[in-house]
């Protein structure tokens, strides 16, 4: 699908530097590594909260770029569950969302975040949005 809505329409996406792009598998989001998103200086590692926020942002941006989402209001999150699988190191992270169900009122979205290897995810999340 073509990107209709860029990430930078959302102030918080600019704040943490998230962008949305296309690759051979479809749409994905990128969280560029920078010092401001570090949560553990010793490892170092990206803050778990930022990883969670990136999961939510990937879900939201994928949803509002989906051709079924024609509404002009931004979907509102109802609930989200995050699983932290590995520590996210000091490098760019990538996120891809799958819209599990796009209902009339509710959308269910699953997200995986990885760094070097998509088969070794650093985090995963699933959540529901009110459309």
Enumerate binding residues for another protein (CB under 8 A). 9-15, 35-42, 47-50, 52-57, 60, 73-74, 76-84, 87
Q: Which is nearer to another protein, 1 or 78 (CB)?
A: 78
Q: How far is CA 54 from CA 68, 72, 93, 103, in A?
A: 22, 22, 9, 23
Identify the CA nearest to 3 among candidates 16, 22, 31. Answer: 22
Answer yes or no: are the C-beta atoms of 86 and 122 closer than 8 Å: yes
Answer yes or no: are the C-beta atoms of 38 and 46 closer than 8 Å: yes
C-beta of 122: minimal distance to another protein in Å?
A: 12
Q: Which is nearer to another protein, 28 or 59 (CB)?
A: 59
Q: Which is nearer to another protein, 24 or 79 (CB)?
A: 79
C-beta of 129: minimal distance to another protein in Å?
A: 10
């Amino acid at each position: 699908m073509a990107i209709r809505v860029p990430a930078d329409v959302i102030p918080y996406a600019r704040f943490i530097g998230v962008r949305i792009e296309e690759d051979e598998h479809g749409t994905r989001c990128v969280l560029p590594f920078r010092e401001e998103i570090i949560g553990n200086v010793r490892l170092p590692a990206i803050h778990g909260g930022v990883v969670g926020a990136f999961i939510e942002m990937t879900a939201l941006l994928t949803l509002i770029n989906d051709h079924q989402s024609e509404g002009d209001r931004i979907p509102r999150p109802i609930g989200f569950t995050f699983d932290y699988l590995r520590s996210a190191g000091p490098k760019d992270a990538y996120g891809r969302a799958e819209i599990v169900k796009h209902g009339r009122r509710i959308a269910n979205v699953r997200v995986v975040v990885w760094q070097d290897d998509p088969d070794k995810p650093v985090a995963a999340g699933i959540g529901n949005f009110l459309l």
